[in-house]
Amino acid sequence: MTHASLSLPETSFATDSNAALPSALYDPRLGHDAARVSGFEIAPGSRPLPRTNQFALYLVEAGAGVCAVNEARHRYEAGNVLCLAPYQHVTFQAESPTRGQVLHFHANFVCLEIFHAEVGCNSKLFDDPFGGISVQPAPETWTEIHGLVSRVAHELQARDTGYREAAIAALKLVLVGLTRAKFADLSDDAAARKLEPPVLQALREAIEANYTRLHAPSDYADLLGISPKSLGRLVREHHGKSLTTLIRDRLMTHAKWEVLHTLRPIKAIAHELGFEDEFYFSRLFKKATGMSPTLFRSFETEIRSGSNLSRV
């Protein structure tokens, strides 16, 4: 396992100078590994991370602060595991010196996008528009997960016979442990503190039922019989983001799946999601991922040799 500052080139890969790609992308054609474990240290202050096309698990061993993902703010402290999805715009805002281990892995190593059921992990662990990114395992689970990540690091470094299969097996146990920890039954007291207001539970259901046709916060405020200002305040308090961002995040979760796993025309995907203007949809997609839909699809399809295409 290496130990480096997040600002060092270890997390910033070179890419083809002829392609308009972000600078931290895993690309097997350039000899990059599909998974890696490294140490990280973040001094107090704001530290943006380069976008990556890998999943990332940040095991926070010390420190506290805020991890901002796109426009959402999530608090973290020692003992947390931060679950970050590919292509997210991430900024650490450390309030005290923060350090730990980070495990990066691409879908070429373990493809959670299609085969998440194999590891007991669903989309609620990564890239959930309605949920947080932070998991706080019980102390014994934290110790187990920490040890498993160290095991992944050892296997990737030693490269003994069957190392890849051993590393994948350890990673799957990490993901199972995190999923269990995130959705563990809460005590009555904890549930009372963390339970969403009924209107936000209704909002979640309303967005799931209508996000392809209703894009404005006022649409959902009208459905729920609450003022847009009051609804927006509740969303900000409980989800750390604006209602506009919450709706847009749900749209982009759908959009990324369709762009990545099908060959449907971008115009058709935009229309399905309620956008008459394909170019406006493409601008939103680029803001969310750092790439246009066309480049996103072509790049990931090429480095995955087409294995991402579940529907042609």
Question: How would you label 106-145 residue by residue, b for 16+ Cβ within 10 Å and e otherwise?
Answer: bbbbbebbeebeebebeeebbbbbbbbbbbbbeeebbeeb
- pLDDT tens for each residue of 10-64: 333 233 333 445 568 999 999 999 999 999 999 999 999 999 999 999 999 999 9
> Beta-strand (E) ranges in the chain?
2-3, 35-42, 45-48, 55-69, 72-77, 81-84, 90-105, 134-135
Can you give the pTM of this predicted structure?
0.87
- pLDDT tens for each residue of 254-293: 999 999 999 999 999 999 999 999 999 999 999 999 999 9
Pick the CATH number of 2-182 from 3.30.70.360, 2.120.10.30, 2.60.120.280, 2.70.70.10: 2.60.120.280
- What CATH number has the domain spanning 194-303? 1.10.10.60
Task: Give the residue range(s) of CATH 1.10.10.60 domains in the chain.
Answer: 194-303
Task: Give the residue range(s) of CATH 2.60.120.280 domains in the chain.
Answer: 2-182
